Amino acid sequence: MRVHVETQYCVAAGVCVLAAPDVFDQDDDEGLVVVLDEAPAEGQRAAVEEAAARCPARVIRVVNEA
């Protein structure tokens, strides 16, 4: 699994950090999403998918690797 984020469209809501704090953070300047782990372990999948689903700007995409 890979995590892709379109940071330029982030609205700094922070729900991604609440859902998956090991994968996402927010920058100190504007609160925009920062990806801490672009290829999280499979055990993080549910949390990452929840973060993507809850993102109000819909900027998080989870891509399955073949």
* Cα angle, residue 8 at apex, residues 7 and 12 outer, rounded to 5°: 65
What single-letter DSSP state applies at residue 29? T
Domain count, the chain: 1
Q: Residue 3: beta bridge partners?
A: 62
Q: Tell whether pTM > 0.85.
A: yes
Specify the CATH number for the domain of residue 7. Answer: 3.30.70.20
Answer yes or no: is pLDDT of 48 > 80: yes
**Predicted confidence (pLDDT) per residue in 2-40, tens digit:** 999 999 999 999 999 999 999 999 999 999 999 999 999
- Identify the domain containing residue 27 by its residue range: 2-63
| pLDDT at site 66 | 62
Element (H, E) at 63: strand 60-63
CA Rg value for the chain = 11
